[in-house]
Amino acid sequence: MKRTFDILQRAMLPLDGTIARWVPEIMDAYARIRPTGAWRELTMVDFTAGSCLMPALFAASGVRQLVVNDYAPRSKLAADFLFGRQPISLRRVEALLRSRRPKPRVHVPTFHFACDYLLEPVCEIFDRLYYADVPASERTGLRYLAVRWALGFARTAEEGFEILYTHDIRQLAQTSDVDWHPYLARLRRYRSVMSALVRDLNASLGVIGPVRASIHCADMVEIAPKLRLKGPVFAAVNPPTRGLDEYTIDDQLVHSLMSNRWLPLSKVSESPMAFWTRRVSAALKHLPLGAEFMVWGGDGSMHWRECFQIWALFGEPLHISRLGSGEDAAGWAILRRTGNGVELQ
């Protein structure tokens, strides 16, 4: 599994707060509950897919039916590419990189609103890929490639993008408080960067294999009652939490690039506990009896014990794993849905 994991991880969106490193362990634990030989008949549901690593790894391990959901448009784009089975043509990419910038008849040049974070050559390459006049079958791959290109200019997934104090490349190279050399080196090597990205993205399609994926972009509360799941089901339930008090689901710059305008940040009006509880209970309530579900918690606004008390209303524990000791330690568990669940307000 390690080789497959490495291939898929290179194709994933780099996201902060991800549980990616624990996915192989979660799958190993689930294989002891339901042997992998029975996974072909399984429907794997990910209510907040994020980078899509977990459903992709399940697909690579034999699951043929997926339900992939995330409220974030960048995750919907990732899912459309990863489970769409349409590889990216490197020849097409190279031709687009040599082409002129698309005429801004249907979109605003990205640099006009992203200039605080991205140099104009970075934006021009993004536009050539994202707005390429190509057959519809190629657009998803080129757009995902464009997003991955832009995300590569963030310092890290956790730290995000640095503000550009100047657009003069020579001045940036001489700046002492921020090391801009990795940023500038990526831009200078754009052809080799693109070649490597295309290779990695296409390689992921090879290990995922043919799969039937129902892909959604909705709040867990909205999508859960519409799924009408049947048969053996394994669901991942991990509401988006980005801190103790801030519950946003925005990746501001990336979603602005995709929307072709600068988007304001938003903040959920519910308290963190109400936000988390309502979404978890909605997802778990609508799982069929006997379904297994993986839940993660204890590293946001609620301690592990508080999280587990809610999970236990809907199922019996089959596996529990803590990432440390004490009230502040996060963890995850796999439970089986039983008939004692009630909707929490």
CATH 3.40.50.150 fits 2-83+209-252+264-337, yes or no: yes
Mean per-residue pLDDT over the chain, rounded: 90
The half-sphere exposure of 247 on its side-chain side, counting CA atoms within 13 A, is: 18
Quick: pLDDT tens for 244-266. Answer: 344 466 688 999 999 999 998 87
What global pTM score does this model have? 0.93
Q: Which amino acid is at 155?
A: R
How much is the pLDDT for 168? 95
User: Which DSSP state fits 324?
Assistant: S
Write the DSSP string, 209-262. Answer: -S-EEEEE-S-HHHHGGG----SSEEEEE-----SSS------HHHHHHHHTSP
Residues of the chain where predicted confidence (pLDDT) is lower than 50: 242-247, 342-345
State the burial class of residue 339 (Cβ atoms within 10 Å of its Cβ: 0-12, 13-18, 19+). Answer: exposed
How much is the pLDDT for 105? 64
DSSP 3-state percent helix, strand, coil across the chain (nearest 5): 45, 10, 40
Quick: pLDDT tens for 49-81. Answer: 999 999 999 999 999 999 999 999 999 999 999
Q: How far apart are CA 154 and CA 320, in angstroms?
A: 35
Quick: pLDDT tens for 142-151. Answer: 999 999 999 9
How much is the pLDDT for 303? 87
Quick: pLDDT tens for 301-335. Answer: 788 999 999 999 999 999 999 998 877 888 999 99
Domain positions in the chain: 2-83+209-252+264-337, 90-207
Per-residue tokens: 51: 């980078």
Q: How far apart are CA 124 and CA 257, in angstroms?
A: 12
Give one word for 189, left, alpha or beta, with left for phi > 0 and alpha for psi -120 to 50. Answer: alpha
